[in-house]
Structure 1
Amino acid sequence: MDFSGKAGGRVIQNPTEAQSAEREEGQAWRRREALRCSLPNLNSGARPSSIHKSQPWFHGGVSRKEAQRLIEKQGLVDGMFLIRESQQHTQCFVLSLCYKLKTKHYLVIPCEDGGRKYFTMDDGLTLFIDLLQLVEFHQINKGILPVCLKHPCVCVAL
């Protein structure tokens, strides 16, 4: 079935034409997805929502090594997590998560869809309006993670 025309779909009888239409649609889809969910333009000046800054699981600009140390200090419990700013990718974040006594790190990328900004960890398959929504979703659903987010790794002042 070919839906590329304005008049709706049409049945393609010729197998060669069907393969060609399928290939063209696949290439067009890949171009749209690559454009929509590529790493952000560092000069765009766009700032993501800042609701996450008041959350106990947000640790700002801590390094990967420091994130691992904080999680270890509070106990290597499955589902212990924190979110931090990425040091390698401007405007991106990292979800650091403990699973099976190891800390894993997942890149959270801002992207656009229909002119609105979202966050994703799975190349745009699942979109979140802010980091708070991302965390709340993954507290109930594993999604691409090996375990649900259960225990926020909080900043402890000593």
Structure 2
Amino acid sequence: MVDPAAELPFFYGSISRSDAEQQLKLAGMADGLFLLRQCLRSLGGYVLSLVWNLEFYHYPVEKQMNGTYCIAGGKAHCGPAELCEYYSKDADGLVCVLKKPCLRSADTPIKPGVFENLRDNMLREYVRHTWNLEGEAMEQAIISQAPQLEKLIATTAHEKMP
């Protein structure tokens, strides 16, 4: 499954708080400078890292059961892009509005999280053993059948648990 934030140029993926702060320092520490990263503690959640008065603020963005996203006590949004758009117009509990995205450089890929690596490994293992495919043929099969494979693996993963 593609991360809903993957297309955002200010989304860094699974980076730590200190890595986020380093990126914000490198980008100049302007008031309202922000980036979005995966929450390392909450599956499907994010953290909005923000600069104000040369200090860092980190706001957990939780994915709700109904699929919406919100900062604790805040308004629910249908996705991370909409949440960031909202907070760029209204601080609504943040220290300031989001003013300037901290853009990933073209040579900085989104850092995958532990669960993405696990997902990819499970897909490859399934296709390799079930369909006897390797290399480019395996990759093409995964790309063309990803939603079906993900569903199949999600429903059978428990069978491999001890």
Q: Shorter-chain TM-score: what band?
A: 0.5 to 0.7
1:132 aligns with 2:132: no
Superposed counterparts of 1:80-95, under 5 Å: 80-95=33-48
Instruction: Give 1:75's match in structure 2, choosing from 6, 9, 28.
Output: 28
- Larger Rg belongs to: 1
1:119 aligns with 2:69: yes
Give how far 1:107 is off: 0.4
Instruction: Give 2:52's match in structure 1, choosing from 99, 113, 122.
Output: 99
For residues 109-139 of structure 1, what are the alpha-carbon distances to aligned partners after superposition, in whole Å with 9 as ceiling and x for unaligned?
0113xxx31111024x410000000010011
What is the distance in 1 between the residues matched to 2:11 and 2:26? 16
Structure with the bigger percentage of helix: 2
Matched letter for residue 122 of structure 1: A
For residues 77-116 of structure 1, what are the alpha-carbon distances to aligned partners after superposition, in whole Å with 9 as ceiling and x for unaligned?
110000000112222110000011011100000113xxx3
Q: 1:89 to 1:51 in 2, by over 3 A?
A: closer
Matched letter for residue 72 of structure 2: D
What is the distance in 1 between the residues matched to 2:25 and 2:16? 14
Percentage identity across paired residues of the two chains: 25
**Is the CA contact 2:60–2:72 (under 8 Å) kept in the aligned structure 1?**
no
What is the distance in 2 between the residues matched to 1:90 and 1:111? 11
For the residue of structure 2 that corresponds to 1:53, the secondary structure is coil
User: How many residues are paired up?
Assistant: 107
RMSD: 1.7
State the match for 1:11 in structure 2: none
Task: Extract unaligned runs of 5+ from structure 1.
Answer: 1-46
Matched letter for residue 62 of structure 1: I
**Is the CA contact 2:14–2:37 (under 8 Å) kept in the aligned structure 1?**
yes
For the residue of structure 2 that corresponds to 1:94, the secondary structure is strand
Q: Which runs of 4+ in 1 moved over 6 A?
A: none
Task: Extract unaligned runs of 5+ from structure 2.
Answer: 109-162
